[in-house]
């Protein structure tokens, strides 16, 4: 583990991945020596939103210059927004205060001359959090592998493979700190949950801390709320049928603790959005992204310029042939605007069933193209991961046929498959995003290893019987 951690620290300290953007096709995934901590355009946008929030003390406003690509009739003036996670804005709000208290420099305003220094400070904190999460995830994943395989050789091999998966070692692992933290914390959460349910591990203080960290990360990456929520629902479903009362008690305690934390954490977001928009909701981003994945010009992958490319069509379909001046005169807030796009996507799906089914097929097929985020080239490791997951699906099908004989084994397989299936559901709901499949890859790895071990164990048993 020391070697794995040392390699990770070296890569993250001295290198970063960059891409050549040829229109909408990312093709490189090359490495360069870093001269600071990487921060993308999204981070600068959220930083500016925090600065506006501090100045107005009432609303969160998107920076009209560095705003995220989405349709808006208010392209050149600030406006109240619930597009980004509140947690990100609050982190920059308090991060700039911490930066000021330590350095004496003010970086809490838009276009501050100290902003670059602040982002190095902010990136440094995220760097150490990511390394800490990585180390904890190694121990958690190793404990999970030991339970699943009951063999040190298999567990160590699985740990090494987990550490060198290219997507989180290189293509995402070197430049997107919050994605890293989310990835590792999901592994910690799943490992603890799985061992508590199936290995009958006691619910400890460390386990509670792991769940709390996962809830915190879910506020920064809201799409993980679906994965965490679905896993907790599976735990409840399993507990209803569990014969072991101690397993049921331990499982349900995790669920209750997690739900309480989620409720408390999300309450602030719902309250703020209700205050600003008159409706309690989580984010407007899901509505805009849902529109991205379900419309006349959707092609299964993300296209940030789809609205601008077909502006006349969408203005006519969504705003009822109104002119740009009339649309602006409607004075819609972001929630009302997002609702219109969500409504259009719902109606389009209802009236274009054949196209929607074809689009869904393309999305699922695109999900399994062995590319990585920002690296649209076939990657051999990704090919092997997906092939292994395919074998695991056959193993699950076989377990399903023997359901009455071994229900416990089938439940274990379902839990391992769940994170993969949830990312596929996200793909169908929105569009193909290898950042989402990235979260499924550790479980593809486990599934493939289980399938291979099952093959060797079966072959060994047959050879013993025939001897």
* Helix, strand, coil percentages for the chain (3-state, nearest 5): 70, 5, 25
pLDDT of 149 above 50: yes
Is the separation of the CB atoms in 303 and 24 below 8 Å? yes
**Distance of alpha carbon 162 from alpha carbon 388, whole angstroms:** 14
Candidate from 174-178, 184-188, 336-340, 406-410 with smallest mean pLDDT: 174-178
Query: Tell me: the pLDDT tens digits for 449-461?
Result: 999 998 888 877 7
- The pLDDT value recorded for residue 211 is 66
Q: Residue 393, exposed/middle/buried by CB under 10 A (0-12, 13-18, 19+)? A: middle
**Interatomic CA distance for residues 160 and 158, integer angstroms:** 5
Q: Is the pLDDT of residue 190 over 80?
A: yes
- φ and ψ at 291, to 5 degrees? -60, -40
**Cα–Cα distance measured from residue 158 to residue 187, given in angstroms and rounded to the nearest whole number:** 14
Q: What is the pLDDT of residue 360?
A: 96
pLDDT tens for residues 200-255?
766 555 566 666 666 677 777 888 888 888 888 888 888 877 666 666 676 777 78
Task: Using the CB atoms, write b or e for 108-130: b if 16+ within 10 Å.
Answer: bebebebbeebbebbbeebbebb
278-312, pLDDT tens digit by residue?
A: 899 988 889 989 999 999 999 888 887 788 788 88
Per-residue pLDDT reduced to its tens digit, 341-366: 999 999 999 999 999 999 999 999 99
The tens digit of pLDDT for each residue in 249-273 reads 767 777 887 788 778 878 888 988 9
- Is pLDDT of 467 > 90? no
**The predicted structure's pLDDT at residue 85:** 84
Q: What is the tally of helices (H) and strands (E) in the chain? A: 20, 4
> If phi over 0 gives left and psi between -120 and 50 gives alpha, with beta otherwise, what is residue 12?
alpha
Helix axes 41-56, 115-149, angle to 10 degrees: 120
Task: Cite the DSSP H helix spans in 37-79.
Answer: 41-56
Q: What is the mean pLDDT of residues 48-58?
A: 79
204 burial class (0-12, 13-18, 19+ CB within 10 angstroms)? exposed
> What is the distance between the alpha carbons of residues 394 and 397, in angstroms, rounded to a whole number?
5
CA distance 19 to 22: 9
Contact 444, 417 (CB under 8 A): no
Round to whole Å and give the CA distance between 272 and 211.
Answer: 25
Better-scored residue on pLDDT, 426 or 39: 426
What letter would DSSP give residue 26? Answer: E
The pLDDT, as a whole number, for residue 353 is 95
Q: Does residue 114 contact residue 107 with C-beta atoms inside 8 Å?
A: yes
Gap between the Cα atoms of 430 and 428, Å rounded? 6
- Do residues 348 and 282 lie in contact, with contact meaning Cβ atoms separated by under 8 Å? no
């Amino acid at each position: 583990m020391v070697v794995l951690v040392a390699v990770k620290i070296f890569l993250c300290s001295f290198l970063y991945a960059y891409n050549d953007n040829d229109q909408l096709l990312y093709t490189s995934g090359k490495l360069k020596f870093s001269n600071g901590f990487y921060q993308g355009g999204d981070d600068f946008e959220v930083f500016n939103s925090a600065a506006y929030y501090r100045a107005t003390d009432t609303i969160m406003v998107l920076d009209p210059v560095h705003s995220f690509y989405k349709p808006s009739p208010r392209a050149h003036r600030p406006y109240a927004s619930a597009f980004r996670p509140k947690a990100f804005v609050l982190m920059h709000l308090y991060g700039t205060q911490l930066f000021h208290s330590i350095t004496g420099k003010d970086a809490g305003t838009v276009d501050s001359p100290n902003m670059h220094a602040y982002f190095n400070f902010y990136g440094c904190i995220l760097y150490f959090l990511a390394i800490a999460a990585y180390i904890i995830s190694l121990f958690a994943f190793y404990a999970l592998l030991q339970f699943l395989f009951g063999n040190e050789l298999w567990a160590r091999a699985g740990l090494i493979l987990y550490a060198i998966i290219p997507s989180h070692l290189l293509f995402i692992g070197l430049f997107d700190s919050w994605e890293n933290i989310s990835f590792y914390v999901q592994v910690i959460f799943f490992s603890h949950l799985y061992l508590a349910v199936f290995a009958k591990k006691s619910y400890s203080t460390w386990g509670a801390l792991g769940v709390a960290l996962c809830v915190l990360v879910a506020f920064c990456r809201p799409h993980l709320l679906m994965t965490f929520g679905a896993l907790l629902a599976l735990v409840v479903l399993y507990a209803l049928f569990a014969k072991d009362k101690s397993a049921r008690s331990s499982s349900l305690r995790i669920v209750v603790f997690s739900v309480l934390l989620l409720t408390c954490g999300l309450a602030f977001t719902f309250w703020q959005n209700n205050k600003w928009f008159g409706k309690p909701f989580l984010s407007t981003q899901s509505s805009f992204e849902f529109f991205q994945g379900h419309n006349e010009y959707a092609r299964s992958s993300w296209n940030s310029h789809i609205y601008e490319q077909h502006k006349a069509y969408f203005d006519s379909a969504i705003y009822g042939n109104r002119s740009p001046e009339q649309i602006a005169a409607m004075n819609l807030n972001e929630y009302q605007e997002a609702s219109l796009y969500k409504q259009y996507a719902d109606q389009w799906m209802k009236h274009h069933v054949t196209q929607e089914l074809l689009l869904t097929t393309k999305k699922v097929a695109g999900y399994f193209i062995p590319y990585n985020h920002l690296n649209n080239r076939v990657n051999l490791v990704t090919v092997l991961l997906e092939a292994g997951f395919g074998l695991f699906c056959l193993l699950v099908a076989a377990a399903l046929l023997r359901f009455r004989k071994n229900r416990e084994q089938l439940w274990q397989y379902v839990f391992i498959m769940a994170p993969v299936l949830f990312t596929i559901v996200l793909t169908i709901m929105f569009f193909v995003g290898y950042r989402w499949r990235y979260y499924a890859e550790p479980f593809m790895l486990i599934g493939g290893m289980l399938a291979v071990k099952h093959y060797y164990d079966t072959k060994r048993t047959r050879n013993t019987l025939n001897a």
